[in-house]
């Protein structure tokens, strides 16, 4: 599966970050690029995914839906090989960056064009000197990128399996069900589906009584004896 089904998509390089990526049993130094596609029109949205096109643009006219300000999408894209060209007319790629991990895809409203801007992260590494020099030259500029699925390799399999993004809903679904239920007051009402009888309300404590003085009793008795 390609990220885009068309070639030579114009991408601006907004940011370069160096970080660690966990692969199998080790952490690897990688370079993460923040790429921006602008303008992001209905034709490119269709090339990305028909679902994205339907989400962002009207069915008939292809106009941007004004109600949307930002939309995050999880496409489950496998690692890609990026062929980067200096222009749309260039025949030979300036560089090919292989096994690039694509994450963080989202579209946001573009006030200038009244359309959308697409942004995503592209991370790869460890980087060769040539790759680092090229992306630094690309920084804040535009290049034209063609995407191809990378060959599957065990080197890039992460702990836990694929490179899929985990959403908040997925995380909640993995949490174990609670062992007990409580009411609004915090009292346990059920344990593993079985109702719990309410604990008896303790009786009110009896009022304190003045201790009996045995000496006083003897004095009362003594007054009655002649």
Nearest Cα to 127, choosing from 93, 150, 99, 158? 99
Integer Cα distance of 23 and 101 in angstroms = 12
Task: Quote the DSSP letter at residue 202.
Answer: P
- What is the pTM (predicted TM-score) of this model? 0.69
Q: What is the pLDDT of residue 23?
A: 84
More reliable by pLDDT, 47 or 170? 47
SS3 161: strand
Backbone angles phi, psi at 18, to 5 degrees: -105, 130
Integer Cα distance of 127 and 133 in angstroms = 10
Nearest Cα to 14, choosing from 145, 126, 103, 122? 122
Integer Cα distance of 18 and 21 in angstroms = 10
User: Nearest 5°: CA angle at 127, between 157 and 6?
Assistant: 70
| Residue 127, CB-side half-sphere exposure with 13 Å CA sphere | 24
Lookup: tokens for 17: 């970050």
Q: Which of 3-7, 74-78, 112-116, 177-181 has the lowest mean pLDDT?
A: 177-181
Q: What is the pLDDT of residue 89?
A: 96
Q: What is the pLDDT of residue 158?
A: 56
Helix or strand run (H / E) with residue 48: helix 42-48
SS3 150: coil
Integer Cα distance of 98 and 147 in angstroms = 10
More reliable by pLDDT, 147 or 201? 147
Integer Cα distance of 84 and 92 in angstroms = 9
Averaged confidence pLDDT in the chain: 81
Inter-residue contact 61 to 42 (CB < 8 Å): no
**β-bridge partners, 31:** 18, 124
Q: What is the pLDDT of residue 133?
A: 97
Confidence of residue 114 (pLDDT cuts 50, 70, 90): confident
Confidence of residue 207 (pLDDT cuts 50, 70, 90): low
Residue 7 has pLDDT above 60, yes or no: yes
Instruction: Give how far the C-alpha of residue 3 lies from the chain's centroid of Cα atoms, to the nearest Å.
Output: 19
């Amino acid at each position: 599966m390609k990220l885009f089904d068309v070639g030579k998509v114009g991408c601006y390089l907004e940011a370069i970050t160096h970080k660690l990526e966990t692969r199998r049993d080790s952490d690897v130094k990688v370079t993460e690029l923040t790429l921006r596609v602008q303008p992001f029109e209905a034709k490119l949205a269709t090339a990305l995914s028909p679902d994205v096109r339907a989400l962002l643009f009207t069915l008939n006219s292809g106009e941007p839906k004004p109600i949307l300000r930002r939309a995050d999408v999880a496409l489950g894209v496998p690692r890609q090989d990026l062929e980067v060209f200096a222009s749309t007319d260039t025949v030979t790629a300036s560089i090919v960056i292989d096994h690039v991990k694509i994450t963080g895809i989202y579209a946001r409203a573009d006030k200038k064009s009244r359309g959308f801007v697409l942004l995503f992260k592209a991370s790869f590494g460890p980087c060769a000197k040539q790759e680092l020099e090229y992306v630094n030259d690309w920084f804040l500029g535009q290049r034209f990128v063609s995407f191809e699925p990378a060959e599957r390799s065990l080197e890039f399999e992460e702990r836990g399996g694929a490179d899929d993004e985990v959403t908040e809903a997925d995380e909640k679904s993995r949490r174990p069900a609670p062992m007990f239920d409580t009411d609004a007051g915090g009292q346990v009402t059920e344990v593993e589906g079985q109702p719990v009888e309410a604990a008896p309300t303790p009786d009110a404590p009896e009022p304190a009584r003045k201790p009996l003085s045995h000496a006083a009793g003897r004095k009362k008795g003594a007054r009655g004896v002649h």
